[in-house]
Chains A and B, each alone.
Chain A
Amino acid sequence: GEDVEQSLFLSVREGDSSVINCTYTDSSSTYLYWYKQEPGAGLQLLTYIFSNMDMKQDQRLTVLLNKKDKHLSLRIADTQTGDSAIYFCAETFGNEKLTFGTGTRLTIIP
């Protein structure tokens, strides 16, 4: 089966780091993605990682991939109010079809 799981909610204080976790069940996935959905909008690609990488850093974003445990995480440093959104992880197995996780709603506490 193709189940991508995430915690539904995460609350973080402004300025702290946010860590959003994702587990997937198919080890043959080739690319793994993080998408962000702001209220009233569609999903927007934040970052991605290829399956042969362990880590990728892009400004305030750090993606960690543990293939052994099928675990993907997204760390947002210095979390700001504009980071409030739903974050989806997604995987693909070598074609255009993405399997999305359930989404994690990130709330920033002032």
Chain B
Amino acid sequence: DARVTQTPRHKVTEMGQEVTMRCQPILGHNTVFWYRQTMMQGLELLAYFRNRAPLDDSGMPKDRFSAEMPDATLATLKIQPSEPRDSAVYFCASGPRAGTTLGYEQFFGPGTRLTVL
């Protein structure tokens, strides 16, 4: 049963600390997305990759956030330094190559709930 995995599921940290969230996309998917979900802002796209290359990171605060794909099986989202306003649930999603399935379906991971004190 192929699924997107994310670690950690929960993270509590103090302001100023570095936070790294990891995602393993579904094997064979060539697009990876990072979203942030909060009550106030809803679901926001932070960045996405196609074939490991960043295509759009316009939703990401550049001064403290960075997203990378060291290889096809791992995507990372890093916040340094973290701030209380970064508290949210961060979702990773992956998608198959366009045209192979339902248009552009995205498969979501379970999320990382981040709390910055």
Write the residues of chain A forming the contact surface with B, with a CB cutoff of 8 angstroms: 30-31, 33, 40-45, 48, 50, 88, 92, 95-98, 100, 102-103
Contact = CB atoms under 8 A, between A and B. Distances in A.
Contact of A43 (B56, B98, B108): B108
Most chain B CB inside 10 Å of its own CB: which residue of A30, A31, A98, A100: A98
Contact of B103 (A43, A44, A50, A103): A50
B91 A31 contact: no
A96 B95 CA distance: 8
A61 B42 CA distance: 24
Contacts, number: 54
B102 interface: yes
22 contacts: A30-B103, A31-B103, A33-B103, A41-B110, A41-B111, A42-B93, A42-B108, A43-B93, A43-B106, A43-B108, A44-B108, A45-B105, A48-B102, A48-B103, A92-B104, A95-B98, A96-B48, A96-B50, A96-B98, A97-B48, A98-B45, A103-B43
Interface residues of B, number: 23
A38 B91 CA distance: 14
B41 to A, nearest CB: 10
Interface in B91-117: 91, 93, 95, 98, 102-111
A98 B42 contact: no
B104 A95 contact: yes
Contact of B102 (A42, A45, A103): A45
B31 interface: yes
Given A96-B31, A96-B98, A43 B104 contact: no
Given A30-B103, A48-B103, A98-B106, A42 B91 contact: yes
Interface in B62-112: 91, 93, 95, 98, 102-111
